[in-house]
Structure 1
Amino acid sequence: MRHTLREAWSGLRRNLTMTFAVIITMWVSLTLFGGGLLGAQQVELAKGRWYDKIEISVFLCVKASSGRNCEPGQDATDAQKQAIRTALETNSEVETVYYESKADTWEDFKRVYKDSPVLADMSVDLMQDSFRVKLKDPEQYEGVVSAIAGLPGVQAVQDLRQYLNPLFQWLNIAKWATIGLSLWLLLAAALQIATTIKMAAFSRRRELGIMRLVGASNWYIMLPFLIESLVAALAGAALACGSLAAIEKFLIIDRAQPSLKSIEWIGWSHVGLAMLGVVAVGVVLSVVPTVIATRKYLRV
């Protein structure tokens, strides 16, 4: 093992410039890759627990509501709620109906605005209950809207996806653009690792040939090169993890959360998952090119 470590250290010193270039490339590419993973998690978090279920939201009357279907100063009655539910559930275009009570809305409100002073001025009585409707065909929503909009107790009917879809489309474009760019940079890093290892193996080709002739195993010959590439990849991954932590602390916690309290932001648990992905990709990108690059030197 001492010989293996000595050889690995010797290889790192001989190819110091290339190793440094690999570390920088891995750092940038893995940071972008981790940023893409964070972006993907943020998109899913921003969609919320209802997004994939909702095509239409039917908001019910509360005391503060105004509209031709609402009695001033009164909430929608239980009979009105039941009539609305029945009309929705018997509609041939409706697949599923979800009811969100004031208490449910209040729990969501407290979660989203937990760090905001506005929470002190609100209560469960000020929340608005609603029906969330999933359609069999999202394009066929006008008939449902027209059938429900005039019922007593209905304050408003909204097709939320006309507002949400453009936002999430752009978020998804940004997410995949980041991941796509990072993949190209990761490919460049893998090629750099392969080139570095090839140069190191070529400079020791006579020594490797002698070791192979005297019966040294492939693993014994390859291990110093694997350690070299792992050191460079893990150094880049560590720097990338530090960059992701900095993004979470200084960009999200210190700036984004105080400015946009209505959005649920990713936390340290999400950053931890992204870091695991970064380290795993870094290890794979160090091992695979090394095995390929040293393959020709393992033959007698």
Structure 2
Amino acid sequence: MRLTFLLGEVGNGIRRNASMIVSVVLVSMVSLFFLGAGLLAQREVSVAKGFWYDKVQVSIFFCTPQSTQAESCADGAATQAQKDQVKSQLDGMKPLVEHVYYESAQQAYDRFKKQFRSSPYLSDISADAMPSSYRVKLSDPDKYNEIVASFDGQPGVEAVSDQSSVLSTFFKLLRVISVGAVALAVVMVICAILLITTTIRQVAYTRRRQVSIMRLVGASSTVIYLPFVLEILLATLVGAGLAVGLLWALVHYGVEGLFNDTGSSTGNLVSMIGTTDVWDFAPWLFAGAIVIALATAWVTLRRYLRV
């Protein structure tokens, strides 16, 4: 088959069935967009865990003069001897305890003022109300219970807080979003397959006279099938390209613009995916588009276009 003849047939087919081809492009774009979004959400879970789990995981808060509810604070604010006792215990828990950072009440108050500078209740809180604490980085965050068992209820210790347990809600939300996006993508892929099947049947029906003539002159099944397959393949590849473009815009202007801008108030506070992650998944999205197009088109043609 001459290349010029094949390209001419493909061009004529696209012009004759423009609306159906556009439908294939749009459905392919939406399905691959949601699939890519699900994959990016999974990548964000890994990136966020790697970022946050590298930070301090456990905080041991000491009693303040206002601490009255905890039994360990019955004697009032924690003494220096009680703080030294906690530090000595932490030093003896290596290698589980990698690093220990001390934050004084004044440092905690300064950080609080920076984070909640717009709060109308800021003036009602003094530095004396902020607890001093040891911020502990663990070599294995999953062994947080060992820290709790050692310090919870100890004299002078008001509370032991695990930051990873707070972040687990964030990670669960990301997992739900990623699973939901992938599930929706599966539904959209099924819709794309059904639409491609319908499109091929419609196109084959409109060209039934041309196909009959080609049969009479002894054209092979490959010669007859190939223009149909290439039309669907081009449509799904265009849809994949649009999906990648949408994912890039979403990450570049949405995620990077809002969270990774070092000049903003949120800069360096979170670690998010970037456009490089989109390019990592782009080849897989195009490969998926090719597989869907070729497999669906060939099976449909063999079933509805007998040669």
Work out whether 1:244 is the aligned partner of 2:247: yes
Tell me how many residue pairs correspond in the alignment: 252
- Counterpart in the other structure of 1:30: 32
- Counterpart in the other structure of 1:88: none
Between the aligned partners of 1:171 and 1:229, the Cα distance in structure 2 is 34
Superposition map of 1:108-147 within 5 A: 130-133=137-140, 141=145, 145-147=148-150
Work out whether 1:48 is the aligned partner of 2:50: yes
Between the aligned partners of 1:256 and 1:144, the Cα distance in structure 2 is 32
TM-superposed deviation, 1:102: 6.9
Superposition map of 1:84-233 within 5 A: 84-85=93-94, 98-101=96-99, 130-133=137-140, 141=145, 145-149=148-152, 157-212=160-215, 214-233=217-236
Q: CA RMSD in A?
A: 3.7
SS state at 2:184 partner: helix
**8 Å contact 1:60–1:128 — kept in the other structure?**
yes
- What does the per-residue CA deviation read over 1:117-155, in whole Å, with 9 as the maximum and x for residues that have no partner? xxxxxxxxxx9553344668x9xx4x7622355889x99
TM-superposed deviation, 1:41: 0.9
SS state at 1:71 partner: helix
Rg (Cα) greater in structure: 2
- What does the per-residue CA deviation read over 1:243-271, in whole Å, with 9 as the maximum and x for residues that have no partner? 11111221122223245331111122211
Between the aligned partners of 1:269 and 1:100, the Cα distance in structure 2 is 32
Between the aligned partners of 2:265 and 2:233, the Cα distance in structure 1 is 41
- What does the per-residue CA deviation read over 1:207-259, in whole Å, with 9 as the maximum and x for residues that have no partner? 33453465433332221111100111111111111111111221122223245
TM-score, structure 1 as length reference: 0.70
Between the aligned partners of 2:279 and 2:8, the Cα distance in structure 1 is 34
- Counterpart in the other structure of 1:116: none
**8 Å contact 1:34–1:278 — kept in the other structure?**
yes
**8 Å contact 2:201–2:304 — kept in the other structure?**
no
Which structure 2 residue ranges, 5 or more long, are not aligned? 62-76, 102-133
Supply the AA of the counterpart residue of 2:98: E
Of 65, 71, 79, the residue aligned with 2:84 is 71
- Counterpart in the other structure of 1:89: none
Between the aligned partners of 2:33 and 2:148, the Cα distance in structure 1 is 46
- Counterpart in the other structure of 1:7: 9
Q: Identity across aligned pairs (percent)?
A: 32
Between the aligned partners of 1:151 and 1:213, the Cα distance in structure 2 is 93
Between the aligned partners of 1:26 and 1:187, the Cα distance in structure 2 is 10
Work out whether 1:264 is the aligned partner of 2:271: yes
Change beyond 3 A, Cα 1:260–1:58: closer
**8 Å contact 1:12–1:19 — kept in the other structure?**
yes
**8 Å contact 2:252–2:274 — kept in the other structure?**
no
**8 Å contact 2:204–2:305 — kept in the other structure?**
no
**8 Å contact 2:57–2:135 — kept in the other structure?**
no
SS state at 2:46 partner: helix
- Counterpart in the other structure of 2:121: none
**8 Å contact 1:84–1:148 — kept in the other structure?**
no
Change beyond 3 A, Cα 1:198–1:175: same
TM-superposed deviation, 1:50: 7.2
Of 23, 48, 51, the residue aligned with 1:21 is 23
**8 Å contact 1:70–1:155 — kept in the other structure?**
no
- Counterpart in the other structure of 1:283: 290
Change beyond 3 A, Cα 1:266–1:57: closer
SS state at 2:271 partner: coil
Which structure 1 residue ranges, 5 or more long, are not aligned? 86-96, 104-126
TM-superposed deviation, 1:196: 1.1
Change beyond 3 A, Cα 1:177–1:10: same
TM-superposed deviation, 1:193: 1.4
TM-score, structure 2 as length reference: 0.68
Between the aligned partners of 2:171 and 2:297, the Cα distance in structure 1 is 40
Supply the AA of the counterpart residue of 1:246: A
Between the aligned partners of 1:264 and 1:134, the Cα distance in structure 2 is 19
Between the aligned partners of 2:10 and 2:217, the Cα distance in structure 1 is 21
